[in-house]
Amino acid sequence: MPRIEAVATVVPPHVVNQEESKALARHFFQDAFPDIDRLLGVFAQSQIRKRHFCMPLDWFSQDQTFTVKNRLYVEHAEELARKASLLCLEKAGLTPDSIDCLMFVSSTGIATPSLDSRLVNGLGLRPDITRVPLWGLGCAGGAMGLSRACEYARAYPQRRILLVSVELCGLTFIRQDMSKSNLVATCLFGDGAAAVLVEGDAVERKSSSPPLHFCASRTTTWPDTLDVMGWEVTEPGLKVVFSRDIPTLIRQSMRENVEHFLDPHETSLHDLNHYIFHPGGAKVLTAYQQSLGLSPEATRLSEEVLHDFGNMSSPTVLFVLEKSMERRWNAGEKGLVAALGPGFSSELLLLEAR
């Protein structure tokens, strides 16, 4: 079975606490909403303490063109991706030339040549490395990228795969957008990057601790839900789209989805020891708990990531995975990775320590 050997995460230097972002949101949106004080209650309810951005807070006060924002995306995303990759390789005791496949996940900017090609140069990867860029998966991208990396390792058990996920959600902020979705986005989203090393089972291990093995994955895309989450491409950039119905969809559909995934593997919810859920928001985690019958303690690591970093889109679930791996799984323990994204889709992975 493919195995996850190392995870590393990084964030950009500019830190914004929720009181600062709330004050900025009041300044931006007070003329558009007479009930601004009621709407700003979302900041207190978010359970977010701070977030990290590649640009300082005063940058958001000015109208920015898509051209400027995308240029900043290419510059900062490449640098964050490079740092996360080097840290991940350092944790694994490997050099860049040992990587056979590079998978790159992002949805908050556009680059051609894609950013994975830039990392080939920036990291000193082999020129014959396989490159797999994945775009448009949104908040599900980290989990979907991990599934594809593990499936690649299962097909090519003698290879090492480096999965890199980076999002600069702050750069997608549109100053002119007076929608409620944009107001909520000012409360919720942040920037960050993660890298994961996945190895096929024919690769000789360097570590003696039990690795996390990939057992299976499942992608579910529900019909007639294209308007639940995504981007609207506009003149000033990528305009955020997400529905207030997401927690309801989780409560209605997630338990059946998870049980259908676990049943063929002779596993039930009661057999799981670890829950690695993408913290899309406080209401999303509550909906997971209600749907799957979990205690708040089960999603505590997801809540910690949300508290310290907000929702960074695709890499967020990998931040939770890193925290979970730091706690040392015992041999035989199982865990469920879950994330939701545009489509409207879910990605589930079953992991086991062996």
4-60 pLDDT tens trace: 999 999 999 999 999 998 888 888 888 888 888 888 888 888 889 999 999 999 899
pLDDT greater than 90 at residue 259: yes
pTM of the model: 0.94
Is 266 buried (19+), middle (13-18) or exposed (0-12) by CB count in 10 A? Answer: exposed
Rounded Cα–Cα distance for residues 286 and 123 (Å): 40
Segment 339-349 shows an average pLDDT of: 93
What pLDDT score was predicted for residue 24?
86
Q: Where in the chain is the domain with CATH 3.40.47.10?
A: 3-199, 212-353
88-128 pLDDT tens trace: 999 999 999 999 999 999 999 999 999 999 999 999 999 99
Segment 305-328 shows an average pLDDT of: 96
Higher-scoring residue by pLDDT: 206, 89: 89
Percentage of the chain modeled with pLDDT above 70: 99
229-258 pLDDT tens trace: 888 888 888 888 877 778 888 888 899 999
Q: Are 87 and 192 in contact (CB under 8 A)?
A: no
Is 61 buried (19+), middle (13-18) or exposed (0-12) by CB count in 10 A? Answer: exposed
Fold of the domain spanning 3-199: Peroxisomal Thiolase; Chain A, domain 1 (3.40.47)
Tell me yes or no: is domain 212-353 CATH 3.40.47.10.
yes
166-193 pLDDT tens trace: 999 999 988 887 888 888 888 889 999 9
Q: Residue 13: what residue type?
A: P
Q: Are 109 and 282 in contact (CB under 8 A)?
A: no
Q: How many CB atoms lie within 10 A of CB 79?
A: 16
Give the dihedral sign, CA 193/95/117/276: negative
Enzyme catalytic residues: 139
